[in-house]
Structure 1
Amino acid sequence: MGVKQPSRRFSKPALRQLEGRNVVREALRAQNKLTEILIEEKMKFDERLQEIKQLANKQKVPIKRVGSHQLKKLSKTGGNHQGIIAFGEYLEVYRLQELLDILEKQKQAPFFIMLTGVMYEHNLGAVIRTADAAGVHGVIISKQGEPLSPVVYRTAMGAEEHVMIIEENLFVALKLLKKHGIKLLGASEKADYNLFKTDLNKGICLIMGVEDRGLSEPIAKLLDGYISIPMLGQIDSLNMSVAAAIAMYEVVRQRRYA
């Protein structure tokens, strides 16, 4: 279903790097192409590692036992590799128009989240993880941005293997969403609508900005409005990934449990 995107501004390694048992297991479960798996030589095979071994053997992915020093040297997540690092091909990237066509045929109300600006890697990974759990149809990120990193994969805990990641020019994407009648709602403490009083049953895209700067003016001009999460304490804002999770699950609540 997917179509590869053109080359990006940022250079990227020939292979993507996955660290941690859940991350590697989910890549194998999704049958996304891995080329090699490195496992610490002194590591005992628990249930997860046994499943990884079985899936790797089935998919003919070589497993190599290596010393902890080698994994430490290779790790790009601050050593948070849990004794396993894998390498593989980059995930297929989807075109927004493709997904919109599919949702229209299936008569589903589109549900997207768009991330703008330069995101902290942990925030991006956390949003992708929640997006998978909440049944979001696609996570839209800028095609001019940096490639997803090992830290993003580690934080997403393998969810990136299942969520459709859409890399587009954000302005083009917003205009395309508008053309398809999808409501564009930005997150801001200075909002037009209370999140919990806003009808989210029709096609929507939640647009999240950078924590310390919010949404840029050019993007803000394309929005249909802003939503806010009630703040009952003394602080006036939430971590971006937390705010995104609350907003995504309000969509779930309204569409499935209201």
Structure 2
Amino acid sequence: MVKKLKLEELNRIDVETFKHTEKIPLTVVLDDIRSMNNVGAVFRTADAFVVEKILLCGITPQPPHREIHKAALGATESVDWEYCDEVSEALKILKEEDYHIFSIEQTTGSKTLQEINISKSQKYAVIMGNEVEGVSEEALALSDGFIEIPQFGTKHSLNVSVCAGIVMWEFFKNLK
């Protein structure tokens, strides 16, 4: 008979061990995200896939906050993060540090997630845009490429945190 594993049976690492664990070379940039639930969920997923950092830009709310914590479940303590008032400034710094920057956005130049060649020798940043407006024009202009997740139903978009989870998983599979 199958049984659920208890928390202590999952052999999870503690925050201090996580801080010293090798991360995948991926930074997630949140560009004017409004929802604290989305921010918290991105933190939690970034912890699961050992993402190196999250950049919170513009109006994106920052920890500590009760609403972020409810979704993050402590991941704001494990995942490194920084706040940058202007997304363009954050992206310029990433470019100086040789990151390949992808906007997660439906554009005339976007490729599907499975078409992207993810190399272990490269550092990446992925930009998640505002829930209504998407990735800002400033961020699009500084992007090296554009990724979209194929969808086959009636809706034209995914929730930001769901989209971020799919993208982080794809990068994790290729970079770990």
Deviates more, 1:141-150 or 1:161-170: 141-150
| C-alpha distance in structure 2 between counterparts of 1:142 and 1:189, whole Å | 20
Give the count of matched residue pairs.
154
Counterpart of 2:77? Answer: 161
Specify the SS of the correspondent of 2:171. Answer: helix
Shift in CA distance, 143/189, structure 1 to aligned 2, threshold 3 Å: closer
The residue that corresponds to 1:125 in the other structure is 40
Q: Quick check: 1:189–1:236 contact (8 Å CA) kept in 2?
A: no
Deviant stretches of 4+, over 4 Å:
143-146
- Is 1:232 the counterpart of 2:148? The answer is no
Cα 1:216–1:30 change in 2 (3 A) is same
User: How does the TM-score come out when normalised to structure 1?
Assistant: 0.55
The whole-number CA distance in structure 2 between the counterparts of 1:236 and 1:152 is 26
Contact map agreement 2:49 2:169 (CA 8 A) in 1: yes
Unaligned stretches of 5+ in structure 2?
1-13, 17-21
Q: Which amino acid aligns with 2:99?
A: I
Alignment CA distance shift 1:139-1:197 (3 Å): same
Encode CA deviations 1:110-160: one digit per residue, 9 max, x unaligned: 310000114201111000000010111000012775442111011101111
- Pair 1:174-2:91 in alignment: yes
Kept in 2, the 8 Å contact 1:137–1:163? The answer is: yes
Identity value in percent: 30
Match of 2:170 in 1: 250
Q: Is the 8 A contact 1:111 1:137 kept in 2?
A: yes
8 Å contact from structure 1 (residues 115, 208) kept in 2:
yes
Alignment of 1:1-258 (within 5 A): 30=15, 110-142=25-57, 146-148=61-63, 149-169=65-85, 170-190=87-107, 191-201=109-119, 202-256=122-176
Report deviation, 1:164. Answer: 0.3
TM-score, structure 2 as length reference: 0.79
Q: Which runs of 5+ in 1 are unaligned?
A: 1-28, 32-105
Letter in 1 for 2:71: T
Of structures 1 and 2, the one scoring higher in RCO (CA 8 A, sep 6+) is: 2
1:159-211 CA distance string (max 9 Å, x none): 11100011224222211111122111001133521111102222110000012
RMSD over aligned Cα, in angstroms? Answer: 2.2
User: Does the CA-based 8 Å contact 2:56-2:62 persist in structure 1?
Assistant: no
